[in-house]
Amino acid sequence: MAQSDVLEQRADDESDKACNQGETPRTIHFDVFTLFPPMFLGALSESILARAQEKGILQVTLHDIRDYATDRHHTCDGYPYGGGGGMVMRPEPVFRAVESVLSRPSGWRLPEEANDCQLPPWNRDEPTILRQPVPIVLLTPQGRRFNQEVAAQLSRQRRVALVCGRYEGVDERIRTQLISDELSIGDFVLSGGEIAAMAVIDAVTRTLPGVLGDESGAYNDSFSDGLSGLLEGPQYTRPNAFRGEAVPEVLASGHHARVERWRREQSLLRTLKRRPDLLLRATESGQLTLEDRQFLSSQGWQAPTDPEGLFLS
């Protein structure tokens, strides 16, 4: 089974379990493994992520990989075999950090005063048995693309480990023996996985029930199920007129059904102009109504056909 399938399967199992137990509030715990824990403090101490932690929906434990390097200088990098520029993250500190943490209950962290002699015992040659399967995600530009669907899958997990690379990346044995999934936030190269990890934490957290004040907020965001995976249309607030541009009349009409239809059409139109690929996906998954398709056709959209020339509904 591919890594992403394992994640999806686990997510479905978790979700089924949650449904069987009734309306149990969903919570998530992230263990983040990084060489730069302070980078996360700003992002976690403001706004939605701060409130999610106050409500007990989100928990994040930051682990400094350097604490698990046992040489005098706490070295976490090494020269690449075969030569070439840059450095590569060494396997031992990363394996030791991840296995020590994930074999203990969530929330555990190395005591601050711990020195090398107080590190928990760890077997360098044998994998540590974890308490329960936890997705161990490497942030890497080579991973599968992180998007709203992956965020929704991850949000059904109780505990997720995020491993942030640095330098030229991580020793390949980390990928082959420790990591269960690899995620990229786009086709560009960052200096480290921390910003990518923060993006994942933020996007996953806002999908959890109880995190946003207005429950329909995340459900009606771009790419979400409430919008059939399409882009959200334009939004307005007061004043009604600004620099010669007025709010569309229908929005102030108080006519709920007309407002809803206008919003749907704007969402379709915006997606047609900016991300026609999303319309194709929505069509293939049967998320466009006849009315949607008629509207799109009136705007010049050509409905995709299947190989036998039949209309995809």
The two tokens of residue 50 are 């701060």
d(CA 29, CA 52): 11
Q: Computed from CA positions of residues 89, 93, 99, 101, in that sequence, does the dihedral angle turn out positive or negative?
A: negative
Angle at 50 between CA 46 and CA 53, to 5 degrees: 170
Answer yes or no: 206 catalytic: yes
Site residues for ligand SAM, window 184-213 (CB under 6 A)? 184-186, 188-193, 196
Of all residues in the shown chain, the one whose CB is closest to ligand SAM is 165
Q: Which is closer to ligand SAM, CB of 181 or CB of 292? A: 181
The number of residues that bind ligand SAM (CB under 6 A) is 20
Q: Residue 139: which of 97, 170, 93, 107 has the closest Cα? A: 170
Stretches 182-190, 253-261, 268-276, 300-308: which one binds ligand SAM (CB under 6 A)?
182-190
d(CA 53, CA 123): 34
Answer yes or no: 133 catalytic: no
Shortest CB 13 distance to ligand SAM, Å: 27
DSSP letter (8 states) at residue 98: H
Shortest CB 167 distance to ligand SAM, Å: 6
> Which residue of the set 80, 92, 104, 141 is catalytic?
141
Q: Which residues contact 53 (CB under 8 A, 6 or more apart)?
A: 44, 59, 60
Candidates 7, 169, 171, 295; binder of ligand SAM (CB under 6 A) is 169
Answer yes or no: 149 catalytic: no
Shortest CB 187 distance to ligand SAM, Å: 7
Burial of 137 from C-beta contacts in 10 A (0-12 / 13-18 / 19+): buried
Active site positions, annotated: 141, 168, 206, 221
Applying CB under 6 A, which residues contact ligand SAM?
139-142, 164-166, 168-170, 184-186, 188-193, 196
